Amino acid sequence: MNCQTVRDRILELAGRPEPEIENHLRTCAACAEVRQEQLALWRRLDEWTAPDVSPGFDARLFRRMEARSTWITRWLGPVQPAFAGALACLVLLAGVVLERARHVPPPTEPPVAAQGWDREMDTALDDMQMLSEFEILPVAQAGEGKS
């Protein structure tokens, strides 16, 4: 076992003894010193106690946070979750609609609302022939002629 492995294990064991490590420490002064420093550090950490929070700390903290927020976040503050949800839904909806719009048939392809339009096609062709042969037929805009 080399020194680097031993020092890593020292940190992992946090002071708990392990025979293999102990054997190495007996023969390696450098590693033994590292272990002593580590034990001293852990002891100091165990002895340290955090100072009490001063009265009004939370209030002062929130005031500082409030002061740093922008006008938009302050204004949106109460409705931020709902706003974010609504925005996400709208973006999703826009994406779906745009994706569908991309698949609209090209302009060279006239729209067809339903299949089974043979009869209508025959009628359109007959109208074409009628308009070709019946030239005196007046064709006006809808609503202009009397019905």
Contacting positions for another protein (CB under 8 A): 75-76, 78-79, 82-83, 86-87, 90-91, 93-94, 97-98, 101, 104, 107-118, 120-134, 136-147
Measured between alpha carbons, how far is residue 135 from residues 126, 145, 146 in Å?
A: 14, 17, 19
- Minimum CB separation from another protein for residue 70, in Å? 16
Judged by beta carbon, residue 40 or residue 90, the one nearer another protein is 90
Closest approach of Cβ 109 to another protein, in Å?
A: 6
Three-point CA angle 98, 103, 108, nearest 5°: 125
Which tokens sit at 55? 């009265």
SS3 per residue for 13-41? HCCCCCHHHHHHHHHCHHHHHHHHHHHHH
Kindly state the smallest distance separating residue 64's Cβ from another protein, in Å.
Answer: 24
User: Of the two residues 64 and 103, which places its CB atom closer to another protein in the complex?
Assistant: 103
CB of 59 to another protein, least distance (A): 22
Q: What is the DSSP letter of 79?
A: G
